[in-house]
């Protein structure tokens, strides 16, 4: 009996070893953030085997990357801008040679050379989106134009906020006229005081699927990611996405190659592959967020390309701010966030 088990295990082990091809690539991405057929096509074209693993939060990704730094387990990660900033400062990322990316030119300069990564030395924008206001126009007839509208006492117990400390504070800081990346505790405290006033209006905090409470009509107004708003709109045409006057929050998820990547050349090949217009278009269509690839945008259906919820005007993008790394200050944010939640 034991002999059998041992033989079986040995066999499995051998099979495991044998089938491992020479050329591999380890990709660590958000869950449901890349269509499978895109990966398949890449494997077919190049013969490189892609090992794909996923995470659910930047923080989880960061902890793993940081702890497994020397192992070179992952070649490519897809952090949000502020984590690019952090990983870059901690010298965990590979400095890119843009010459190796012949599709680089397809990227829209509007998304390049931002504060979180000057000259894009370390990151390539992958998908982007905005956080704005969603409103159920059937229920709420008043015109909604700004973040401050969420504070309207009429909306008691009708508001959704994102269950994310950075997003929610960024919104409030924008409203107060401070930088969303402020490290000044006084500003953060003010934002906290402001949010405390809003708490009475809040029905639910949700950042995993904020569209759902809108679709279920659990809430009538609130903060939302544009992609989620678009999906909610498909279910209920009365749900509108609004870019608040005070400014929207722009988020960009970026491809980055880790410094200790074992398969550097393959990583370049993969990134360049993803920058192809038709590939970027397919990703954009499937995942539902906007692509920073201007060539890809041209290939999209007009209906999508002209949907302002997905592709806002240039002015809005220019005015939008991207959260960057705030280092230890996150603990101050977190402190006020906990305070906000623990008080009634």
Partner 1 sequence: MTPSKANWLKKASITTISLWLAIFVFIPTLLVIATSFLRVGENNFVIFSFTLDNYQKILDPVFFHVFFASCYLALITTFVCLLIGYPFAYLLTQFSPNIRRILLLLVIIPFWTSSLIRIYAIKILLLQIERSLRFFYPDVSILYTEMAVLIGLIYTMLPFMILPLFSTMEKLDRRLIEAAQDLGATPRQTFMRIILPLTIPGIIAGSMLVFLPVLGLFYVTDLLGGAKNIVIGNLIKNQFLVARNWPFASAASVFVIILMAMLIFVYIKSINRFGGSRHEKVQ
Question: Residue 21 or 327: which CB sits closer to partner 1?
Answer: 327
Q: By three-state DSSP, how is residue 257 classified? A: strand
Beta strand spans in 183-243 (E): 202-205, 221-225, 239-242
CB of 221 to partner 1, least distance (A): 15
Question: Residue 304 or 330: which CB sits closer to partner 1?
Answer: 330
CB of 232 to partner 1, least distance (A): 16
Instruction: Please check if 32 is assigned to a binding site.
Output: yes
Question: Residue 15 or 60: which CB sits closer to partner 1?
Answer: 60
Instruction: Please check if 2 is assigned to a binding site.
Output: no
CB of 171 to partner 1, least distance (A): 16
CA 273 to each of CA 171, 224, 278: distance values in angstroms, whole numbers, following the listed order: 35, 31, 10
Rounded distance, CA 126 to CA 273, Å?
A: 12
Q: What is the DSSP string of 267-282?
A: HHHHHHHHTSHHHHHH
Rounded distance, CA 317 to CA 250, Å?
A: 8
What residues are paired with 77 via a beta bridge?
28, 256
CB of 90 to partner 1, least distance (A): 5
Contact 44, 68 (CB under 8 A): no
CB of 263 to partner 1, least distance (A): 26
CB of 204 to partner 1, least distance (A): 3
Question: Residue 154 or 199: which CB sits closer to partner 1?
Answer: 199
Question: Residue 17 or 67: which CB sits closer to partner 1?
Answer: 67
Contact 164, 153 (CB under 8 A): no
Q: Is the dihedral of CA 305, 233, 37, 76 positive or negative?
A: positive
Binding site for partner 1 (CB under 8 A): 57, 59-60, 62-63, 66-67, 90, 157, 163, 165, 199, 202-206, 216, 218, 327-328, 330-331, 334-335, 337-339, 341-344
Question: Residue 102 or 339: which CB sits closer to partner 1?
Answer: 339
Residues whose CB falls within 8 Å of the CB of residue 218, separated by 6 or more in sequence, listed in order: 160, 203, 204, 212
Residue 113 CB neighbour total at 10 angstroms: 11
Residues at the annotated binding site?
Answer: 32, 82
Residues at the annotated binding site for spermidine?
Answer: 32, 82
């Amino acid at each position: 009996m034991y002999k059998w088990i041992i033989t079986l295990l040995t066999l499995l082990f051998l099979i495991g070893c044998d089938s491992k091809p020479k050329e591999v690539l380890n990709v660590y991405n958000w869950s449901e953030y890349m269509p499978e057929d895109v990966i398949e096509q890449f494997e077919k074209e190049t013969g490189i085997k892609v090992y794909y693993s996923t995470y659910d939060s930047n923080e989880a990704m960061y902890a793993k990357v940081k702890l497994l730094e020397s192992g070179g387990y992952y070649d490519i990660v897809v952090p949000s801008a502020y984590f690019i900033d952090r990983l870059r400062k901690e010298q965990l990322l590979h400095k890119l040679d843009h010459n190796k990316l012949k599709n680089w030119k397809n990227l829209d300069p509007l998304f390049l050379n931002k504060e979180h990564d000057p000259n894009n030395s370390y990151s390539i924008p992958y998908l982007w989106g905005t956080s704005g206001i969603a409103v159920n126009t059937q229920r709420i007839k008043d015109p909604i134009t700004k973040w401050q509208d969420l504070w309207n006492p009429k909306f008691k117990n009708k508001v959704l906020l994102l269950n994310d400390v950075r997003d929610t504070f960024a919104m409030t800081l924008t409203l107060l006229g401070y930088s969303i990346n402020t490290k000044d505790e006084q500003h953060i405290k003010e934002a906290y005081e402001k949010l405390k006033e809003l708490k009475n209006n809040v029905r639910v905090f949700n950042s995993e699927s904020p569209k759902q409470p809108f679709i279920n009509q659990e809430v009538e107004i609130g903060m939302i990611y544009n992609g989620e708003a678009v999906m909610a709109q498909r279910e209920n045409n009365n749900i509108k996405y609004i870019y608040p006057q005070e400014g929207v929050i722009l988020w960009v998820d970026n491809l980055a190659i880790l410094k200790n990547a074992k398969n550097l050349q393959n990583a370049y090949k993969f990134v360049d592959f993803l920058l192809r217009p038709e590939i970027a278009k397919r990703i954009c269509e499937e995942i539902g967020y906007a692509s920073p690839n201007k060539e890809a945008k041209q290939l999209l259906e007009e209906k999508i390309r002209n949907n302002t919820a997905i592709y806002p005007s240039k002015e809005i993008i220019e005015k939008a701010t991207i959260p960057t790394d705030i280092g230890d200050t996150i603990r101050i944010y977190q402190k006020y966030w906990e305070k906000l939640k623990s008080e009634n």
